[in-house]
Amino acid sequence: MDDTPLETRELRYFVAVAEELHFGRAAERLGMAQPPLSRAIQRLERRLGVRLLTRDRRGVALTGAGETLLHEGRAALAMTRAAARRTRRAGADGGARERLVLAVKAGAFHEQLRKLLDAYAAEPGAAEVEVLPSGTCEQEEMLRDGRADVALIHVPPRSLAGFDSERLSTEGQVAVLPAGHRLAARASLSMAEVGAIPGLPLARWPGPDGRPPGPGPEIHDQTQLGQLIALGRAAAVFPVSAVSWLWSAHAAVPLSDAPEVATHLAWPAHSRSLALAALARTAGRL
């Protein structure tokens, strides 16, 4: 067993094989021939002193150690990408003025975001803040891989592991239904009632998310969801603040038993950015 640190190249090779579970497809993905890829994985196993993959006539499978390295390897590669992106951003325009990239879910957080940006802009020496609208469930990944320096995230259920954060607000949730639906006039609904509306399934979201998973269509952006709700093809559960993006064809009904949702400003725990620290202090005063 060799204690020499793993190389980025080795992790890239292993993650490709572990995700494809096929050496030929992994080699094609990496733009290399299969034999040197197989030899590289064998050398990696010898260095670590553990079996990472099982290979037989049925194909390739991960061992327990392989599952661990896949998880750790993905995280390590994300950190190297993040380091490169943030370094380039810090050096842009000669590094004369720091710039922060703030990821937000498209169509959400309007009022909170406006207050935060206005308050921060009034601070002496405030950095430039680029607001980067993103899809549902993307904010955490964008923080981890360096596309964003800071993000607005709903909690629960999203994980804040590896992040520092400042809570901005806590609010209830609403069911979003077609405006003409018979339940749209109700004063409130329960989660069970919303999950059992005939012909109006709850939308599904890609990746981990705390909203009810539902049997309905998978949603990737706010416009798609808005259209499906307006057409009577789906329902959704959102924080109360989401009513700001609703159309006239939508209705929001308070949920009596939905868990409260907190909105956090979150950033990587290892950040040493003075501009980000000032933004966090501003958020804490709001």
E strand or H helix that includes residue 232:
none
Q: Is the pLDDT of residue 88 over 70?
A: yes
Q: Is the pLDDT of residue 96 over 70?
A: no
* Structural contact between residues 265 and 279, judged by C-beta atoms closer than 8 angstroms: yes
pTM for the full predicted model: 0.69
Q: Which residues pair with 266 in a beta bridge?
A: 151, 165
Q: Tell me how many degrees the CA angle 74-78-82 measures, rounded to the nearest 5.
A: 175
Using the CB atoms, write b or e for 87-99: b if 16+ within 10 Å. eebeeeeeeeebe
Q: Is 83 exposed, middle or buried (0-12, 13-18, 19+ CB in 10 A)?
A: exposed
* Structural contact between residues 83 and 146, judged by C-beta atoms closer than 8 angstroms: yes
Q: Is the pLDDT of residue 210 over 50?
A: no
Task: Render pLDDT for 123-172 as a digit per residue (tens, 0 to 9).
Answer: 988 999 999 988 767 888 888 888 999 999 887 655 687 899 999 989 99
- H-state helical runs in the chain: 8-20, 23-30, 34-48, 64-91, 110-121, 139-144, 191-194, 222-230, 274-285
Q: Which residues pair with 104 in a beta bridge?
A: 133
What pLDDT band is residue 208 in, cutting at 50, 70 and 90?
very low
User: What pLDDT score does 94 carry?
Assistant: 62
* Structural contact between residues 261 and 158, judged by C-beta atoms closer than 8 angstroms: no
Q: Tell me how many degrees the CA angle 160-164-167 measures, rounded to the nearest 5.
A: 80
| Lowest mean pLDDT segment, chosen from 13-17, 56-60, 128-132 | 56-60
User: What pLDDT score does 209 carry?
Assistant: 45
User: What pLDDT score does 206 carry?
Assistant: 66
CA 225 to chain centroid, in Å, comes to: 18
